[in-house]
Amino acid sequence: MTLPEHLTIHEGHLYIGMHDCNDLAKEYGTPVYVTDEEKLRQNFIRYNDALKAHYSDVQLLYAAKANGNLSILKIFASLGAGADVFSSGELHLALLAGIPPEKLLFNGSSKTHDDLRVAVEKGVRISLDSFDELKQLDKIAGELGRIVEVSFRVNPAIDVPTHPKIATGLATSKFGIPADQIVDAYRAALECENVDPVGMHCHIGSQILDVTPFVKEMEVLLKVAGEITKMGVHLKFIDIGGGLGIAYDHEKEVAPTPKEYADAVMPVFIAGIQKLGIKPQLWVEPGRNLVGDTTILLTRVNSVKTSHKKFVNVDAGFNLLIRPAMYGSHHDVIAVGKADEEKTEEYTVTGPICETGDILAENRKLPELESGDVLAILDTGAYGYSMASQYNCRPRCPEVMIFEDRHGIMRRGESVVDIVNTMKRLPWHEK
């Protein structure tokens, strides 16, 4: 297995950066998510540079849903990132992290009245997903005496090679406005008093390992850009969303690099806008590609059992990492203290949750394991903690950051008391 460069093996132990994962597991307990700050920085710079090599007016909007830890948002903010936010909560986090409102886009297909109001109050641009939302926003902005800059989310009707649950630009998906209605949406916005349509937004899906669909997406957007420019829309930005995947199976998968992505998409973008005589900013919303490979989930073996096959029961389950259960996703697994031992056994790694589907990794070759061994589940920086739950009354685990020779908690683990404290005694149950 070719490991990402921040993961190395020394004297049989897995290291993340300068840190022995067994020591981190001992210090912070398990389960624990561990993120490498240096890798976060490298990923951002690599992505940004790849696009800017083609066109200087590029703005990265980190997709906060991938990993909403404030420390991570702050690192990206310091590198110049904006953010794609999908809820008032993510909006709040992004502002707390110091990302200026003009670098944010409030996305979402089902925003509440309060979401819209907060975005207007904070001066954040909004990506609209329906005519109904446009009407509501125009009214809210009018009441607040503001003019709001918006984009519409275009549904480009593009099939993408990824899990169906995370393909978002299909003709049948819930997101966006279909191509045959999109021009009317801009026309309607031009007629609104308090809304200014200055952007175009699209996102075709996630974990895409082929650059061709992104090129197709760009072609659709440029076609729409041509039609709405003629109608009098002055496009300040075109936002092509995120979606570039990463290699999860390090033996089999190869992911396009951000440079390969940029080299495929940017010439089409540049030729298109030149033809139209417009000069919008290019916005991109990567999530997974910036954070996915920066993080490992350390989990300890509770017990090993042989029934119809060998199971290794660990202390993290789909409460902490739902991707395998939800999308059948593959995450590589390494036995932290036995990293160079021969992989003589085949195990299915299962969590502690009361469901048959609570499997983190199926039929994996690993060294012989015993209770107390620590396993690292790789590439858990995107949609890991951010999709975690408290199912089975399991408090969510801590998140740790490492940087050079340092390490520290960037989110404490919850306790059962945290869970219980949100519950209220009902008045009619009082004695």
Catalytic residues: 354
Q: Give whichever of 17 and 241 is closer to ligand LLP, judged by the CB atom.
A: 241
Q: Give whichever of 66 and 374 is closer to ligand LLP, judged by the CB atom.
A: 66
Q: Per-residue x/- marks for ligand LLP, 270-309, CB under 6 A?
A: ---------------xxxxx--------------------
CA–CA distance, 398 with 253 (Å, rounded to integer)? 30
The CA-to-CA distance between both ends of the chain, in Å, stands at: 62
Member of 50, 58, 66, 220 binding ligand LLP (CB under 6 A): 66
Member of 248, 318, 383, 385 binding ligand LLP (CB under 6 A): 383
- Least CB distance to ligand LLP at residue 165 (A): 7
Member of 199, 242, 280, 317 binding ligand LLP (CB under 6 A): 242
Residue in the structure block whose two tokens are 């209770």: 371
CA–CA distance, 209 with 226 (Å, rounded to integer)? 29
- The three-state (H, E, C) secondary structure of 50-76, written as one string: HHHCCCCCEEEEEEHHHCCCHHHHHHH
Contact 63, 240 (CB under 8 A): no
Of residues 98 through 127, those in contact with ligand LLP by CB under 6 A are: 107
Q: Is residue 193 packed enough to be buried (19+ CB in 10 Å), middle (13-18) or exposed (0-12)?
A: exposed
Q: Is 151 an interacting residue with respect to ligand LLP (CB under 6 A)?
A: no
Phi, psi (deg, nearest 5) at residue 240: -95, 10
**One-letter amino acid for residue 270 of the chain:** I
Q: Which stretch binds ligand LLP (CB under 6 A): 91-99, 240-248, 367-375, 409-417?
A: 240-248
- Least CB distance to ligand LLP at residue 253 (A): 14
Size of site (CB under 6 A) for ligand LLP: 23
Structure-derived torsion over alpha carbons of residues 119, 123, 125, 128, reported in degrees to the nearest 10: 40
Q: Give whichever of 335 and 382 is closer to ligand LLP, judged by the CB atom.
A: 382
- Least CB distance to ligand LLP at residue 241 (A): 4
Q: How many CA atoms, within 13 angstroms, populate the side-chain half-sphere of residue 239? A: 34
Applying CB under 6 A, the residues found at the interface with ligand LLP are 63, 65-66, 84, 107, 166, 168, 203, 206-207, 241-243, 285-289, 323, 327, 382-383, 387
